[in-house]
Amino acid sequence: MAKGDDILGLVYAFAALLSFSLSPVLYKVGLGNRNLHVIEANTLRAWGSLLLLTPMLVVSRALGIYLNNALFFIILSAILGPIIGDTLFMYSIRGVGVSIATPIANSYSLIVTAISIIFFGEKLTLINAIGGFLIILSLWVLYFERKKLSKEAIAGMAASLGTAFMWSLSIISMKQALAMNVNPVLIIFLRTLIVALLLSLVSKMLKFSFKEKLDLKTSITLSIGGFFGIGFGVIMLLYAIEALGTGRASLIASASPVMASILAILLLKEKLRIRAVIASILVAVGAVLLK
């Protein structure tokens, strides 16, 4: 591998890390508008992200690429990840905060590994087993050792675990689309478009009304958060994987739970929870060992 490509790959990986770390913080700010349902927030996030992704699509010149059968997997990835998974993630962020929701949701790597072993015949190594143990341990460190949990904490944790499961299925679906040599920018743009359209339909069916609830701060933070979380960040990660390989790129991006917790403490003034920091580190290390 050329040294220039190696450096560029590192830039992509760190861009993904920063994007995945910043997006939950922006979501938390946008979700401060309690009049806005999480489905409405997710819909707004998708359209705002799509608007910001359009220049990237134009520059990449990916519109003329033949999708073949990849469209099915793009649609499936959109439904499982940004629609169901991220709606649960927003609910969790609103309930238990960024520093708790993010490390639990990022345990998706454990589920991806389990699915790969069960359904795709991949082998389980000792390193994988240690990584899985660390992720499970992180959940215990956060909450499971407590004798009593509030209803809000239980609901928030359940939503985070649901997020992890949906993200894992979405990633597997997206990998199938990538295997068909479709441009990463086009995959993410189409996925975001599908998310925006489907969530708008759901919002209309549920008779949600945005006009009376929206303000400029909510619109901007959710839109930019969506751009980083489901748009730019994912694209950067895919390019990093192409340049560095899955292992090295994931090694860097997997630190996002740690950085997200730190940003939540510094920017959102969330309470410094030593357990949350330890859990974030355990998830990051466990995710690396599972790659």
202 three-class SS: helix
Per the CB < 8 A criterion, the answer to whether 290 and 128 are in contact is yes
d(CA 58, CA 61): 5
Average pLDDT over residues 202-210: 87
d(CA 63, CA 40): 29
Helices 70-78 and 184-205 sit at what angle, rounded to 10 degrees? 50
* Domains in the chain, number: 1
The whole-number pLDDT of residue 277 equals 77
243 versus 167: the higher-pLDDT residue is: 167
Per the CB < 8 A criterion, the answer to whether 159 and 95 are in contact is yes
Q: The domain containing residue 110 runs over which residues?
A: 3-290
pLDDT-above-90 percentage for the chain: 34
d(CA 152, CA 101): 12
Average pLDDT over residues 89-109: 86
DSSP 124: P
- Asked whether residue 175 carries a pLDDT value surpassing 90, the answer given is no
- Asked whether residue 45 carries a pLDDT value surpassing 90, the answer given is yes
The whole-number pLDDT of residue 86 equals 94
Lookup: tokens for 221: 């933070």
The whole-number pLDDT of residue 122 equals 67
Per the CB < 8 A criterion, the answer to whether 214 and 44 are in contact is yes
Centre a 10 Å sphere on the Cβ of residue 6 and count the other Cβ atoms it contains.
12
The whole-number pLDDT of residue 53 equals 93
60 versus 158: the higher-pLDDT residue is: 158
Average pLDDT over residues 71-94: 93
d(CA 198, CA 83): 8
Average pLDDT, the chain: 83
d(CA 85, CA 166): 5
The whole-number pLDDT of residue 30 equals 92
Q: Give the range with max mean pLDDT: 5-9, 91-95, 275-279.
A: 91-95
Q: Give the range with max mean pLDDT: 118-122, 179-183, 203-207, 261-265.
A: 203-207
- Asked whether residue 181 carries a pLDDT value surpassing 60, the answer given is yes
- Asked whether residue 232 carries a pLDDT value surpassing 70, the answer given is yes
101 versus 80: the higher-pLDDT residue is: 80
- Asked whether residue 126 carries a pLDDT value surpassing 70, the answer given is yes
Q: Give the range with max mean pLDDT: 52-66, 160-174, 240-254.
A: 160-174
